[in-house]
Structures are given as structure tokens and as C-alpha cells.
A and B are shown apart, each in its own frame.
Chain A
């Protein structure tokens, strides 16, 4: 049985630049595979491989529409990454803002 996808797997999945291009394209709307092939200018097997990685971590969902397989973004799977990056960034933004206050005090003391 396949092991459950973890947050780290999702990090790895979006670490690949081509897969980020796919996610960017799907962020706008769902698209069939052939459209992604055209957009990325990659051979179909490469695109399919990237899509399989994204599907395995739950970043995209797929449905059949006639002869086409249509992919769409599943933002929920990427939420842990977003939350982490946002939280880490916000902590450092808070630190720098407070640091600016400390530095204002130090500058006044020097003058």
C-alpha cells in the first residue's frame, strides 16, 4: 500500500520549477493535459510524470471528460506550505519591525 503523502512530500512536489508552472496554470482554471503540454512546451510523457507527482501529494485532482483527462488545483493540499511560509515570514517581519524600534532608540542615544 502506498504510504500517506506528508507535508514534506508536498514541499518536494512544488520544489520543481515545471511543477510550479503547472500549478500556476491550474490556479487560473482547470485544464486538460494537452493544453498543459502546449503551455509548458514539454513532451506529453514529461507533463504526465509531473502531474502524477502532483496527484500523489493531493496538489491536483483529475477527472475524465470524454477522451480527455482534466486536471484542477486542490489548494487545500498546499495550505500547510502556505501556512508555514506565512508564519515564518510573519515572525521575521515582526522581529524586524521591533528591531527598527530598538535601533531608533540606539540612534537617539548616540546623538
Chain B
């Protein structure tokens, strides 16, 4: 059973190619899984507070495609798509993810990262969610880092937090 912590989120960098986000949610695992895999529920949380989600297409089976589109701050569209590689109900989802660009073909998966999302039961009926993103190579990682989306090289976050205080 995973350890239940307070509801703070952790970001770590397990390797040069990966980023890992973890957070404990105060709800049973089957509900977290439902919120993660039901399009009308995904629309309520996936855009964060940055816009409205206009498309949540999920062909939720191994080999099936997904596509998310949001209108950020009512101005520009941001779209992501990918394919489901592995689905273990209530436990684990592995999918590819690529951000769409105007000059790439709509179903291209060039430069896709691989996300592994796991749901573990934690103390007190809570659920530990882990999102591991694997950029697959230093080249892809660097490309994503330069586009401001991904980094994956830092093992720890602390020094940046310290430095933040001295940043103009």
C-alpha cells in the first residue's frame, strides 16, 4: 500500500529522459480512475485554469487513439494526441503523447513522449497517482525542453526553488 502524504505534489527527474509527478488524492482508486478515463470528467480538470477543453476524444482500448484540444485563455488552440499502449483497469495506463504543430501531419507521432500513469491505494482510502513521462532520448528531451514543455534532467527541485528568490 502506498504511503499517504499530505496533498502536495512532487516533481522529480528519475533520469535524463524522464520526469515523474506524484500526488495523493483524497478519493478511492476506482473514482480517480473514472475521473481520468471519462471524457466529460477529463474536460473538467485537464485544462487546469488555463482555458476550456473543447475536444476529449478517447478510443479507450489498447491501440486506440486519443485527442485532447483546449482553447487557452480564449485565444489559441493547443492540441495533443496519442495512442493507448497498455490499460490495466484501476491500476495503470500507458500512452503516447505528442503536441500537434501546424506543419506536422495530424496523426504523426514523431517526437511523442510516453506517459505511464499508475494509481495505487494509499492509507485512509486515498489514492497515490504517479505520472512518469519518458521522452525516450536526449534529442527528444532537449527538443521538448527548448519548447518549454519538458526538461527531465533535474533530479531535484530544491535548488531552483532557492534560486527563484534571487531571480528578477
Instruction: Say yes or no: is A94 at the interface (Cβ < 8 Å to chain B).
Output: yes
Cross-chain contact B9 with A79 (CB below 8 angstroms): no
Cross-chain contact B153 with A14 (CB below 8 angstroms): yes
Q: Which of B34, B142, B160 has the most CB atoms of chain A within a 10 A radius of its CB?
A: B160
Given the known interface contacts A94-B50, A100-B7, the answer about A107 and B31 at a Cβ–Cβ threshold of 8 Å is yes
Write the B14-40 contact mask toward A (1 if CB under 8 angstroms, else 0). Answer: 001001010101111001101100000
- Report which B residues bind A (CB closer than 8 A): 7, 9, 11, 16, 19, 21, 23, 25-28, 31-32, 34-35, 41, 44-46, 48-50, 129, 131, 142, 145-146, 148-151, 153-157, 159-160, 162-164, 166-168
**Whole-angstrom CA separation of A20 from B155 in the bound complex:** 10
Task: How many A-B residue pairs have C-beta atoms within 8 angstroms? Tell me.
Answer: 128
Q: List 20 A-B contacts (CB under 8 A).
A: A12-B153, A20-B159, A23-B159, A73-B166, A75-B166, A79-B167, A85-B157, A88-B149, A88-B151, A89-B11, A94-B48, A95-B45, A95-B46, A95-B48, A96-B25, A96-B45, A99-B32, A99-B45, A106-B27, A110-B31
